[in-house]
Amino acid sequence: MTALFGHTTLRGTAPYRYDVVGSFLRPAALKEAREQFAVGAITREALTQAEDNEIRKLVEKQKELGLKAVTDGEFRRSYWHLDFFWGFDGVEHVMMDQGYMFHGVETRADSARLSGKIRFTGHPFLEHYRFLKQEAGEETAARQTIPAPAQFFAELVRGVNENSVKAIYPDREELYRDIADAYRQVILAFYDLGCRNIQLDDCTWGMLCDEGFWSTMAGQGYDIQQLQELYLRLNNDAIAELPEDLTVTTHICRGNYHSTWAASGGYDNVAPALFGGENVSAYYLEYDTERSGDFQPLKQVPDNKLVVLGLVSSKTGELEDKEQIKARIREAARYVPADHLCLSPQCGFASTEEGNILTEEEQWNKLKLIKEIADEVWGE
C-alpha cells in the first residue's frame, strides 16, 4: 500500500498519527457502581475496585487497537475539568443556580469556587495516574489529560464565583501566580510518576471563536484581545521551565456534552495568539463540522508544531466517509506540512459521565476508522 503523502516521519512521541483525545463512554458496570456509591450502597473502596476493573479493560482495548498512547478514559471523573479543580487546596465543590448552556440543553450545575488560597499539597489524580501507568506498561505511553489553567481561571470567575475571587485575591496578579505555581507543581508530580505526555484540555479558546460569545463579552466590558493575552499568559506560565522530555499538547474544544455543543466559529480570531503564542508542541483541533470553519487559520501554526485534525465526530455513531476524510487531510496539508498532521476524533466520547449518544461498539468503530485512514495516508 502506498501512503497518500509518500514517506513521512514515524511519530515516536505524542501526538501520534492516529490518536485519541482522552475520554471514553462509561461502561454499564461503572455507571451502576457510581450510582450505588452515590446513595451509600457501596463503599469508596468498592467503587475504586469497579473503576480499576473497567480501566484495565479499557487500556487493554486501546492497546489491542494499536493506540500508542492510552488514557484511563477519565473513568474516575464526573466532569472533564471540575474534578481536577476540586483536587487543589483552596477550591470547593459548589452548585450554581444553573449549569452550562449548550445547544438545546443545560448541564448539571456543579462548579468550582475558591474557599482559600490555591495550593498544591497533593492531588487525587496522582494516584489515578500511578494506576494507569502500571496498566499501560513500558511500551505504551500513558497520557494524562487535565483542564488548562485558562479553563481553571474561567471557572473561578464564572458568575457569582467571582465574588470569592475578589475576596480572597484582591490582587489578581497573586491569583495568576498561584494558578501557575499549583499547575506546575502538579505537572512535575505527574512527571515524577513517569508521565511524559500532558494534554491541556481547553474550551476557553473555542468560546472565543464564537462571534456571539465575543459580542456578549464585549458588551459586558471585556476586551477580547486582553482576554486572549490573559489566557495565553496563564497557560504559558504554568508550563514554563518543564523537563525537556515532557511533551505538552493542548486540545481546543467548543463544547462536548451529550452529543451537543456550546460554541461555533472558525479559528481566525484566535489563531495568531493561540497558534503563534502558546508554548505547546501540538494542537488537537475540532474540525468535524462546518462550525469549526476552514483550514486557512492553520497557516499561523509555526513550523515546529503539529496539528491533530479532529475530523471524525465523537458525537454520533455514523461512520464518516473515508475518502472525504482523506480529501480534508489533503486540504489541510495546503497550510500545514503533511508530516506535521495527525488524525483523531474531534473530542472525547464522554466529556462528562453522561457520555455522547452512541454505543461503545460505534465508539470503537470510529477509532478503527481513524487508524485505517492514518495507515493509508501516512503509512503508519
pLDDT tens track of the chain, all 380 residues? Answer: 457 766 577 798 999 999 999 999 999 999 999 999 999 999 999 999 999 999 999 999 999 999 999 999 999 999 999 999 999 999 999 999 887 777 778 788 899 999 999 999 999 999 999 999 999 999 999 999 999 999 999 999 999 999 999 999 999 999 999 999 999 999 999 999 999 999 999 999 998 988 776 555 445 666 788 889 999 999 999 999 999 999 999 999 988 887 786 788 899 999 999 999 999 999 999 999 888 899 999 999 999 999 999 999 999 999 999 999 999 999 999 999 999 999 999 999 999 999 999 999 999 999 999 999 999 999 86
pLDDT of residue 6: 61
Report whether 300 contacts 271 (CB < 8 A).
Answer: yes
Report whether 286 contacts 184 (CB < 8 A).
Answer: no
Query: Which one, of 29, 60, 141, 136, lies nearest residue 364 by Cα?
Result: 60
DSSP sequence for 226-278? HHHHHHHHHHHHHTTT--TT-EEEEEE-S--BTTB-S----STTTHHHHHHH-
- DSSP assigned state of 307: E
DSSP sequence for 18-60? B---S--PPPHHHHHHHHHHHTTSS-HHHHHHHHHHHHHHHHH
pLDDT of residue 220: 60
C-alpha 104/C-alpha 106 separation (Å) is 7
User: What CATH class is the domain 28-378?
Assistant: alpha beta
For 138, phi then psi, to 5°, come to -85, -20
C-alpha 9/C-alpha 341 separation (Å) is 11
Query: Which one, of 148, 261, 279, lies nearest residue 213 by Cα?
Result: 261
Cell for 130? 500511578
Query: Which one, of 9, 230, 216, lies nearest residue 101 by Cα?
Result: 216
Cell for 354? 453522561
* Domain ranges, ordered by start, for the chain: 28-378
C-alpha 314/C-alpha 351 separation (Å) is 10
